[in-house]
Structure 1
Amino acid sequence: MTELERVPPGVDPHVPSAARIYDYLLGGKDNLAVDRAVGDRLLSVAPDTRAVARANRVFLTRAVRHMAEQGIRQFVDLGAGIPTSPSVHEVARKVNPACRVVYVDYDPMVRLHGEVLLSGDPGVVSVQGDIRTPRDILAGPHVTGLIDFEQPMAVLLVGVFHFITDEEDPAGIIAAFRERMAPGSFLVLSHAMSESDPEAIAQLILSTANSPAQPTFRSREELTALCDGFELVGPGVAAVQDWRVPGDEEPALPLLEGTPKLRIDAVVGRLP
């Protein structure tokens, strides 16, 4: 059976997917040749990118654990990607087994994996949706059936928001979610930065041209502006490998030495 025959319905094997490229960089197997080609070209100019991807995942688990310890019991993971352990619900439920999680991604391969892995758990659901249409996501029956908007929640945008172009109104997308979030809710962001190595930026843009996986690199000031209305937690905007809150006793992972060529910054904000 060829790779083309193994592609799920709705997936174009000639178009790279951000979720599958990320899966490849993390060492996963749920990716296609087109995704591996993009990853390899990026690694050829920025060989520390695998470590950056792992650091991004570590940031996600640290942020989720912190929010669960602060009493957050419901999470909406936007652009969730191919399921990877430890997942958001696994981390959150170590703090409180009552935590509920909605995973959202527009990639049909992600949805298929989510349906298989998460079936049978009434507190966790995977849905296909596009973060460019936030009100559709918020009104979806799986979201309204699981999330109580009268209570604090966490909205996660980890490693996904750089795929939203300026023309697609990134600030408006976040505002749509913020309007539905109760006081005490959290926003979690990690984002590819314009301070990255120019060669890495050029290679990534070239290899993903005219595809949904083409990123928009933003500055620290632009990332901070996306968090308008939220009070920044911990170190504020920081390199993804350096983000941590006071009291986090988990040792820093020796993933990176020096400044990586592909820079990802992270930020967590709390709604007053």
Structure 2
Amino acid sequence: MTSRPFQQIDVFTATPYLGNPLAVVLDGRGLNTEAMQAFTDWTNLSECTFLLPPTQAGADYKVRIFCPGRELPFAGHPTLGSCHAWLAAGGVPQGELIVQECGVGLVKIRRDGARLAFAAPPLRQVGPLPEADVTLIARGLGVARDDILAHAWCDNGPQWRGVMLRSAQQVLALRPDSSVLAGLEVGVVGAQAAGQDTDFEVRAFFPGHNGLAEDPVTGSLNAALAQWLMGAGLAPARYTAAQGTVLGRAGRVYLERDADGAIWVGGDSVSCIQGQVTL
């Protein structure tokens, strides 16, 4: 075993302990998949990442992303948190943008002041969900089928199924049935009332160790939701999403479509723990 630099980052918040935590092992060289998975499971966090030297031209670093029980080709809060940790540890990008290598390929990250934002990767599956899925999701969420105003595949690595409800308040009131939604990754969005400091409320449900789990703040889902909602005219080209409210968090995700059509997913990050881990 080797002592390796380690950071724990809180992502999508500027205030520690109100976002989504991420464990980052800044030197994953020599660790096999089993060791990475075992450490991830031990952290009891939604995700853990391991930084490695890049293998693709143009990349500044490579990251492997794990959640309990499996490796992910891409995830949003691990992307921003890993980049934050890499920069804090002295990483210097080759160009104006930071380029991360991961399972879906190269992901561009830009600095907006102290805030980082990643370019949403292409969706792997698009279009409306099968009606059988929509009916099942409505039952699992405990809402009427007519309360789902719109729905779409939001698959960008994680196979999110996105549904839009009538309001943010309806999203916040959800008490999903884990037995009905077992095995599904479901993202739920609802518009906020006028005058709020955010535009949408988002919740993310996914399979966990003990049934259905809820993610505090989810970059991959918000990226895919923005691609769907903006493309369908259901959201403006720039908006802010709140997530984690029901869990006592105050996550904020900043979505923007630029002049070239790329969608950027931004958020603040803050280092909470720094030290060494023996792996």
TM-score, normalised relative to structure 2: 0.26
Structure with bigger strand share is: 2
TM-score, normalised relative to structure 1: 0.27
Structure with bigger helix share is: 1
